[in-house]
Structure formats: C-alpha cells, structure tokens
Amino acid sequence: MPLSDVQCRTAKPKDKAYKLTDERGLFLLIATAGGKWWRFNYRFDGKQKTLSMGTYPDTGLKEARERRDEARKLVAAGIDPSLNRKATKMAQEIEATNSFEIVAREWFAKQKHSWAANHADKIESRMERDLFPWLGKRPINEIKAPELLGVLRRIEERGAVDTAHRAQQNCGQIFRYAIATGRAEYNPVPDLKGALPPVKQTHYGAITDPKEIGELLRAIDGYRGSLITRCAMQLAPMVFVRPGELRAAEWSEFDLKAGEWNIPAERMKMREPHLVPLARQAITVLEEIRALTGSSKYVFPSPRSKLRPMSNNAVLAALRRMGYAREEMTGHGFRAMARTILDEELQFRPDYIEHQLAHAVRDPNGRAYNRTKHLSERKKMMQAWADYLDRLRSTAEIEK
C-alpha cells in the first residue's frame, strides 16, 4: 500500500531503525535519532542495490517518487543509477575546475612572477573588472567567439577600445593555456580578428624643442608644491627611466659614491636588471632629497605613508599645475625628450641611447647586451646630457 504524506510526517523514531514502504522499491527509513531518509531498492546485473533519494521533509513524498521513477527509467535503459550519479557528480566537479575564472587565475599565477608588479596588477584588475563578471563561471570549453565578443563589446562601448584589445589579447593567452592543459580544444580569439575597431595610435606628450625644454626645466625648478615631487621631476629628465621605475625607486638601489643606480629585474618592464649612470647633477638632487626621505625605503615616498611610493599621477598632476597639458608633456615624455636630443643634437650612438632606455638591444650575433655593456661610454653620455640640460636651463634663447 502506498505511503501518505501524513504517515511520513507523523512517523516517530523507535529503538531500532525501521522503514515505511511505498511502491516500486521506494521506502522511508526512520533512524533511531529521528532522521528520515528516502531510499530506493533496485536490481542491476542480478544484484540488489540501494540508492539514496534525499531526506524528509526537505524532499517530499511526491519529489521522492519522481526521483524513483527517473532511476527506474535508467535501469530500464541498462544504466546503473548509482554509477550514473557518481559520473554526473564527477562531471560537475570537473566543470567547476574548468571555469574561465579558475583557468584564468591559474594562468595568471604562473605568469605574474615574470612581469613587473604594476603590469601584473593591471592584468589582474582587467580580468576582475571586465571579464570575470560575465565569463568567470562559464566552462572555458563552452565559450565561443560570439559570447566573447559580446563581453569585449561592453568594454569598447564605454570608450576603452585599447583596454578591449588588451583584454582580447589576455583571453587568447588564457585559452592557449587551457588548451595546453587539456581544459579546452578551441581558442575563439583568432576568430575575432577585425571585430573590434582599431586602436587610435597616440603618443606620449613630449617636449623636444631645446628652447621649450629650457622653459620646462626652469618651471620645474620653480615648482612650489611638494619637495619630493619637485626632486622627482628634476631627476626624471636626467635619468629618463619609465615613470613607474622612478616613483618606486628605493634607496638600497643607489650607490652615490660610484654614481650608479642599479634597478633590479623585478621592477623592470623587460624583467632584466638595469644600470643607470648618475651624472653629478643627478647625485646633487638625490643628496638633497635624502635629507628628507633617507629613513624611508623609497626615495619618493607617498605623503600619506612612507611604506608606499608616491602616486602614479604625482608627476603628471604637477605638470598639469605648471600649465602643461597631457598632449604637451607627460612623465613618460622625458624618455622621448632624451632619445630625440641625444640623437639629433648631441649625436650619440643609437645603441648607447637604446641601451640606456632599457630597450631590447642585441649585438650582430643576436645576443642581448648585458647591463654593463658600453658602461664607460654611457657614463660620458649621461654626464654630457645633464650638462646640456644645465645649458638649456640657464639660457633663455637657444640658437639652433
């Protein structure tokens, strides 16, 4: 006789566990502690087996019967419900570990140690802001080109076309990693070629006219904001490193007696150590700021905490307060300034300049130059450059 819901609800525990039988192999097991468990008895390959169907009242009588009927259909089709449940659970677990976010974070963890910290932070932020909210939980092997394009379009529509292209590039790297590790068979990124509008090429604002450089240098010397920011701006044109390398400079990297700044590989974009010869004028600036920040880890610490370097925007904001628009001059523009003048005005060898810019410079045999290559010549170049800047600073008019 089939069970009723009243029987299930009012059944009380006894000294021993007992069961209330329904129909077609379904029964409710009443445990001595009071728990009520649905079970289904069936035969498969000549063996008696029992399958759990949930607990009462979370699983009601009607739902328990529906689960029993589904299990009976599997048995009739020659499928063991117990093995089918295990296989389904395993597939779900595999799918969970194959989500786009899981694979992306695994790829990121393996790559970030070869990147500069700020570059790694940008990639992680881009994934968390622009990719994971829409793709994170999706099985990576199910993501196709139209779905990925839809996510990239969201970035494009807010006007961040360059970010959309960078996100697309990162997705390509993630999918290639997924294929290599057996989590995907298809990389949809190549199918998106031409789907995003091209990035409008822009160049960092940079002053390269000698007369205007002189005006800029005098404006920096007269800057009335923070001494730390002023010293950073005074040093920037003399060393022409990347803005991130300058703002995070640490006192431990400097040997003022030797006139050298040794930047470790982990702080360089190309992940190679870089040596910057310091002209006399650069050492003077560093000695001035050392009285203020010498007890800090950083040469240019944040005004809010000596435990952090100055902001990314500190130099840029100071240039704006001095009246220089973004298209006129940026922190990165000091590199273009040095590259242009050292080549066109002071006529130093291009490989000396490129090496000092920490660009990838190779010898005729294809080997990368080490950090001390042409050091003597580069020291002369850096001193000549600082002397030239002094002349521009003190001369109102530069005769071409």
Give, for 105, the enclosing helix (H) or strand (E): helix 100-111
- Please give the torsion angle defined by the CA atoms of residues 216, 218, 221 and 225, in that order, rounded to the nearest 10 degrees: -60
CA distance 251 to 296: 8
332 is annotated as an active-site residue? yes
Catalytic pick among 183, 230, 247, 335: 335
CB-CB contact of 116 with 269 (8 Å): yes
Collapsing DSSP states into helix, strand and coil, what is residue 44? strand
Concerning whether 339 is annotated as a catalytic residue, the answer is no
Residue 192, number of CB atoms within 10 A of its CB: 16
Which tokens belong to 143? Answer: 């993501």
Q: Which one is catalytic: 105, 154, 269, 349? A: 269
Nearest to 294 by CA among 254, 322, 263, 264: 254
In the annotation, is 391 catalytic?
A: no
Specify whether 247 is catalytic: no
User: Would you call 56 a catalytic residue per the annotation?
Assistant: no
Determine the Cα–Cα distance for residues 203 and 176; give it in Å rounded to an integer. Answer: 31
| CA pair distance 241, 254, nearest whole angstrom | 14
> Given 65, 67, 332, 339, which residue is catalytic?
332
Q: What is the distance in angstroms between the CA of the first residue and the CA of the last residue of the chain?
A: 109
For residue 369, indicate whether it is catalytic: yes
φ, ψ for residue 396, nearest 5 deg:
-70, -40
Stated as kind and residue range, the H or E segment containing 55 is: strand 47-56
Question: Which of 19, 218, 321, 359 is the catalytic position?
Answer: 359
Which of 18, 186, 223, 369 is catalytic? The answer is 369
Residue type (1 letter), 17: A
Among 68, 230, 242, 247, the active-site one is 242
Query: Which residues are designated catalytic?
Result: 242, 269, 332, 335, 359, 369
